[in-house]
Amino acid sequence: MSIEVNQLSKSYGAQKALDEVTFQAKPGQILGFLGPNGAGKSTTMKIATGYLAADSGDVLIKGVSVGKHPKVVSRMLGYLPEHNPLYPDMYISEFLHFVGSLYAIDKKKIEVRIRHVMERCGLMPEKSKRIGQLSKGYRQRVGLAKALIHDPEIIILDEPTTGLDPNQLVEIRGLIREISEQKTLIISTHIMQEVEAICEKVVIIHRGKVVAQDLLQNLTVSGQSDGLILETEEPLELGWFERFPVRTIRELAPNRFLLLSSEPIPVLRKQVMTLLAEKNLSLVEMKHQSKNLEAIFHQLTQSR
Ligand SMILES: Nc1ncnc2c1ncn2[C@@H]1O[C@H](COP(=O)(O)OP(=O)(O)OP(=O)(O)O)[C@@H](O)[C@H]1O
């Protein structure tokens, strides 16, 4: 295994942020680490990269304990934190020089290495600007370049596309896919499309506990999550669905529900149509929510 997270627990005061979190990533795998706000993703990433100590449990990077050998591990890891810390007054290459010196990269090799990562991360068009003058997308690229400068085998990216516009988002995702060749990647995110677009394996965490861990293809096929999204102009009463073949109801937004069906969707749809007519409700939207990651995520991380 490239990364083994073993029974990690962490509390902040009385609050338990992680409760025996366990998962693994194989060499060459892109693992999507998913969870709602406050689930414990950043805490896990910080412990895995040696920035924070766990209360119990450990993370092994290629068999080396992060808790016991944080310095050894830091050379094997590239990390893009959620709040990507950069020096706004520095030029990009100046900044990468500085980071390279922290990893004691050979002075003869550093120029070549900086040029390589700047090209790889598409930074050459902006090379004459200071970091503070760059757009958010380009600052994320600098963060990625920083994570790659010492050519680590394992890369951990904490919410790498948050706050990017749709064009930058596609570009950065493409870049992540390119970077991932021959590397092991963990990407923490709450964007389902991101995981579906780039990840092979998925771990879902909720309130500090792992609630699902599998290959994306297995999760989306085996998840018992076929459902119907229903939105009406008027409020719906949950009691109306008691006689329906509905296992669970999730409120996605006001007057908008995900009904997880225990029967084929056409059976449920027919009953919902009858209900709408009976109650004289105006339909805004009704659509089949197939067994996709978003439905599984809702199912596992929202309470009724
Ligand atoms: N330094 C801290 N002190 C106290 N509580 C903290 C601290 N850091 C995180 N927490 C709490 O621990 C829980 C997990 O936080 P964490 O940042 O790991 O979640 P997350 O899944 O990364 O969330 P988000 O998607 O919102 O970034 C949250 O309830 C958070 O408020």
Its ipTM equals: 0.97
Tokens encoding 136: 């958010």
Contact of 227 with 258, CB cutoff 8 Å: yes
Tokens encoding 98: 């500085």
Helix (H) or strand (E) holding 175: helix 166-179
Q: Which atom of ligand 1 is nearest to the CA of 18?
A: 14
Regarding whether 143 and 248 lie in a shared domain, the answer is no
pLDDT at 37 exceeding the cut of 60? yes
Question: Which neighbouring-strand residues pair with 187?
Answer: 32, 157
- How confident is the model over 160-176, as a mean pLDDT? 83
Q: Which residue has the higher pLDDT, 58 or 218?
A: 58
Q: How far is the CA of 40 from the centre of ligand 1 (A)?
A: 6
Mean pLDDT of the chain: 89
301 Cβ closer than 6 Å to some ligand 1 atom: no
Tokens encoding 106: 């050979």
Regarding whether 53 and 197 lie in a shared domain, the answer is yes
Q: pTM score, two decimals? A: 0.78
End position of a domain, from candidates 191, 221, 251? 221
49 Cβ closer than 6 Å to some ligand 1 atom: no
The residue contributing the CA closest to ligand 1 atom 5 is 12
Regarding whether 72 and 39 lie in a shared domain, the answer is yes
Q: How far is the CA of 16 from the centre of ligand 1 (A)?
A: 10
Q: What pLDDT is stored for residue 221 in this prediction?
A: 54
Q: What pLDDT is stored for residue 304 in this prediction?
A: 35
pLDDT band at 292; cut points 50, 70, 90: confident
Percent of the chain with pLDDT over 90: 56
Regarding whether 195 and 52 lie in a shared domain, the answer is yes
Regarding whether 248 and 179 lie in a shared domain, the answer is no
- The total number of residues shown for the chain amounts to 304
Say which range, 70-84, 132-146, 157-171, 263-277, has the weakest mean pLDDT.
157-171
Regarding whether 116 and 8 lie in a shared domain, the answer is yes
Q: What pLDDT is stored for residue 106 in this prediction?
A: 85
The residue contributing the CA closest to ligand 1 atom 26 is 37
Q: What pLDDT is stored for residue 220 in this prediction?
A: 65
Helix (H) or strand (E) holding 166: helix 166-179
- How confident is the model over 215-244, as a mean pLDDT? 82
- How confident is the model over 261-273, as a mean pLDDT? 89
Regarding whether 163 and 213 lie in a shared domain, the answer is yes
Q: Among 156-160, 177-181, 280-284, 291-295, which range has the highest average pLDDT?
A: 280-284
Domain limits for position 261: 223-301
- One-letter amino acid identity for 141? R
Q: What pLDDT is stored for residue 96 in this prediction?
A: 95
Q: Which residue has the higher pLDDT, 186 or 295?
A: 186
The answer to whether the Cα torsion of 214, 219, 225, 229 is positive or negative is positive
End position of a domain, from candidates 221, 256, 276? 221
Say which range, 61-65, 107-111, 161-165, has the weakest mean pLDDT.
161-165
Question: Which neighbouring-strand residues pair with 155?
Answer: 78, 185
Expressed in angstroms, the distance from the first to the final Cα of the chain is 37
Regarding whether 17 and 142 lie in a shared domain, the answer is yes
Residue with tokens 């009904």: 259
Domain total for the chain? 2
- The one-character DSSP state at 133 is G
Cα gap 23→301, rounded to integer Å: 18
pLDDT band at 182; cut points 50, 70, 90: confident
Q: How far is the CA of 38 from the centre of ligand 1 (A)?
A: 5
Regarding whether 230 and 102 lie in a shared domain, the answer is no
Q: How far is the CA of 85 from the centre of ligand 1 (A)?
A: 18
At 66, give phi and psi (nearest 5°): -65, -40
* pLDDT tens figures, 46-75: 999 999 999 999 999 999 999 999 889 989
End position of a domain, from candidates 187, 221, 255? 221
42 Cβ closer than 6 Å to some ligand 1 atom: yes
Q: What pLDDT is stored for residue 43 in this prediction?
A: 96
Q: Which of 109, 38, 111, 121 is nearest to 78 (CA)?
A: 121
Instruction: Locate the DSSP E strands across the chain.
Output: 3-12, 15-25, 30-34, 56-61, 64-65, 77-80, 154-158, 184-189, 201-206, 209-215, 227-232, 246-253, 256-261, 283-289
Cα gap 197→90, rounded to integer Å: 34
pLDDT at 303 exceeding the cut of 60? no
Residue from 9, 15, 82 to probe ligand 1 pocket by mutation (most atoms less than 8 Å from CB): 15
Contact of 7 with 56, CB cutoff 8 Å: yes
Regarding whether 164 and 97 lie in a shared domain, the answer is yes
Q: What pLDDT is stored for residue 180 in this prediction?
A: 83
- How confident is the model over 174-178, as a mean pLDDT? 84
**Cα atoms in the 13 Å half-sphere on the side-chain side of 168:** 14
289 Cβ closer than 6 Å to some ligand 1 atom: no
